[in-house]
Structure 1
Amino acid sequence: MSERPERIFPMSRPAGHVPPIARYSSRFDHRPERLAVLFMGIAAEDGGRAALALSDFLASACRSVDAPAHFDRATFLDANGRRNSVAALYWPDRSAYGRWVDTPDVAAWRAGHRALAEDFGQWWEPVSVAPDRSETIAFAEYRRGLSACPFSRLEQMGETGYWGAARDRIPASGWDRLAGEAVSLVPLGRTAESRGLRLAIRPPSGLAVIRSGVSWSACGAEQRESFERNVRPKLNAGMEYLRRNPVETGCPALRQVVLTDNEGEELEEAYSLGLFLSLGHLEAWAKDHPSHLAIYHRAMAERRKYQEALELRTYNEIYVLDENAADFEYVNCDPSVGLIPYFAARVLASGT
């Protein structure tokens, strides 16, 4: 890896700022040129069928010598009433992902042969960025997603608890505004043909991908009641606003999922997987819109009240794509899924 450029844009961290509680970010001693993450989902009206297909995919995924270093699985019901079984998979670098995706079993899954044969939807959204275009925040004893990977170590940091902290945690923001290629989200103006097809869509440069999670599994009675009464309704309202207002927010996709174990049983933790046209679009909603301000102020109130005794656990990871982003692929998906309603697609295969 080359040396980082000098910072030319100042940080937002106020002078003398002390974080309300200790938080940590991931660091990578192997110095990868690019990290690699795959968010993949299978959608079917029969949730059991979706879960079984995902289990079969993960079995194939883990047979390769370049199998993901870490993965987790989740579930959600989409706007079309289809149960989605979701996997988030992580590799230490893009080259390992590239070798993995070219293995015959994985290539067959990616091509969507089974999705087309059995008539379920499959979305495949790979994320690969230089570490300087990413950020994480986690608790030391609660590691999820990228922070849970064996190649990731946690380091305490001070960029938390103020507006602009997420941008400050992205090293490239010191010399790059991370502006998006797409200034606004414009629907295609027609319903895209997608059922029975395998489509590829090039995500715009600057697209910000965020995974933001919460766990209430360690909460005692008092803090669990506070989460259910004070935090969760505000969180759900904010995510619903993003789903209902993609054009206004520049958020083409927002999936609110619940983590599951390998048998498909739901856990007491969840995350939201969001796509924003740019980091600036994400920041505009976070800083200015009442739906996020309600979440933020309630979360800060919980931190101030309980401080180091806080039992609710949260984390997030953000990736800002560049011009070398890989295609997002959609097989037999509803035309409302992912980037399909907003960006031109290439047809890679047809099931007919």
Structure 2
Amino acid sequence: MESAIDKHQKCPRTLSRRVADDYQPPFPMYVARASEDLNQVVMGYFGIQYSGSEKKAAALAALRHIVADFGTADGPAHFDLTHHTDNEGYDNLIALGYWRDPSAYQRWLASPAVAGWWASDERLADGIGYFREVVAPRAEQFETLYAFTDDFPGVGAIMDDVSGEIEEHGYWGSMRDRFPISQTDWMRPNGDLQVVHGDPARGGRVVVRAHDNIALIRSGQDWRAAEGDERRLYLDEIEPTLRAGMDFLRDNGKDVGCYSNRYVQSIDLDGNLLDESYNIGHWRSLDRLERWAESHPTHLRIFVTFFRVVAGLSKLRLYHEVSVFDAQHQVYEYVNCHPQTGMMRDAAVDGR
């Protein structure tokens, strides 16, 4: 048994863990490990938004353009593609890229092809919406958790190794305890979301300024290899409970501190759905995420269902990653998106 926090990230604690030192977790879980030279990663969510089946072809073409740009110099080391329908009825496609080196990301972003395409007036005139939500946690500002030990999705795909069985899971507060920064920092938010360019109600280009310690969770389910009873267990019991919780946050998240929640399903380049899904949840703070997880009926049902079935899972792959960010390491930009999209919903406009 080992700590989720790697040896080179350990420091004298000024804040205690939320569990006794002799705690024994109820089942095995693992985290991704990175070598000491990993200082910061970049997670780039590049979205296309459209309404109406007649615009699907243009949206898929835009998605393929982004993926082609991913394949150029300094593109992400790993990416995946998703679809979801938001609570305004718009379809959204997202290409999510992970960079191990922020400098490589900046070079990629500044390349004429990428910078020129995003800044082009064509983005304002082609009848579909675009967004990019880019965050860059330092190595001490994110944690992972997996019920398996190979072929990691998400940020785990750009890490170097896997832990043995870890101590910090299976109890309320374990998510926070897996953050290296939690040894000395409460990760409290400061400030509010603020529109600093454009007006969401008028469309066009909008930029939202973030605050410190926004929390982002990606929590995923991969049932591609699941068969028989295990597949039925996921589709008939786990997934409906999960969907109810994700729909609650999508529709009512503002009341509990969730800025944006997207329950997405993986797709291929032609838009075909794959047997993998995850939620993308931006929260005002890790504390607000914890409070919802520990007390709200929608999440408690998810938690209880998972604990009841986890011992019988063999091919269903469950995981999550959670990050917090400095304000300066977040970019939220929207082009022709409806005003409820992403961070625009809760961002103040000229004091409003």
Quick check: 1:199–1:345 contact (8 Å CA) kept in 2?
A: no
Partner of 2:140: 132
Structure 1 residue 78: Cα displacement? 1.8
Q: Secondary structure at the match of 2:106?
A: helix
Pairs within 5 Å for 1:85-234 = 85-111=93-119, 113-138=121-146, 139-149=148-158, 151-156=159-164, 157-182=166-191, 192-195=200-203, 197-234=204-241
1:296 matches 2:265: no
Partner of 2:275: 268
Mapped to 1, the partners of 2:243 and 2:257 lie a distance apart of 19
Relative to structure 1, is the Cα distance of residues 345 and 126 closer, same or farther in structure 2, using a 3 angstrom cutoff? farther
User: Pick from 31, 38, 52: which aligns with 1:32?
Assistant: 38
Q: TM-score, normalised by structure 1?
A: 0.89
Q: What stretches of structure 2 of length at least 5 have no aligned partner?
A: 1-7
Quick check: 1:61–1:106 contact (8 Å CA) kept in 2?
A: no
Q: What stretches of structure 1 of length at least 5 have no aligned partner?
A: 347-352
Mapped to 2, the partners of 1:326 and 1:257 lie a distance apart of 21
Mapped to 2, the partners of 1:153 and 1:3 lie a distance apart of 15
Deviates more, 1:223-232 or 1:277-286: 223-232
Partner of 1:350: none
Quick check: 1:201–1:345 contact (8 Å CA) kept in 2?
A: no
Structure 1 residue 182: Cα displacement? 4.5
Mapped to 2, the partners of 1:82 and 1:326 lie a distance apart of 24
Structure 1 residue 4: Cα displacement? 5.9
Quick check: 1:127–1:319 contact (8 Å CA) kept in 2?
A: no
1:284 matches 2:291: yes
Structure 1 residue 121: Cα displacement? 0.7
Mapped to 2, the partners of 1:125 and 1:192 lie a distance apart of 15
Mapped to 2, the partners of 1:296 and 1:142 lie a distance apart of 24
Mapped to 1, the partners of 2:120 and 2:262 lie a distance apart of 21
Partner of 2:245: 238
Q: Secondary structure at the match of 1:226?
A: helix
Give CA-to-partner distance per residue, 1:163-219, whole Å, 9 cap, x none: 111111111011000111148x899xxx83342x21111112110011111012222
Q: Secondary structure at the match of 1:231?
A: helix
Structure 1 residue 284: Cα displacement? 0.5
Q: TM-score, normalised by structure 2?
A: 0.89
Mapped to 2, the partners of 1:3 and 1:211 lie a distance apart of 22
User: Pick from 333, 343, 346: which aligns with 1:339?
Assistant: 343
1:63 matches 2:72: yes
Quick check: 1:202–1:327 contact (8 Å CA) kept in 2?
A: yes
Q: Secondary structure at the match of 1:241?
A: helix
User: Pick from 314, 321, 324: which aligns with 2:318?
Assistant: 314
Pairs within 5 Å for 1:244-259 = 244-259=251-266
Percent identity between the aligned chains?
33
Q: Secondary structure at the match of 1:24?
A: coil
Q: Number of aligned pairs?
A: 335
Structure 1 residue 90: Cα displacement? 0.6
Structure 1 residue 95: Cα displacement? 1.2
Aligned-residue Cα RMSD (Å) equals 2.2
Quick check: 1:201–1:327 contact (8 Å CA) kept in 2?
A: yes
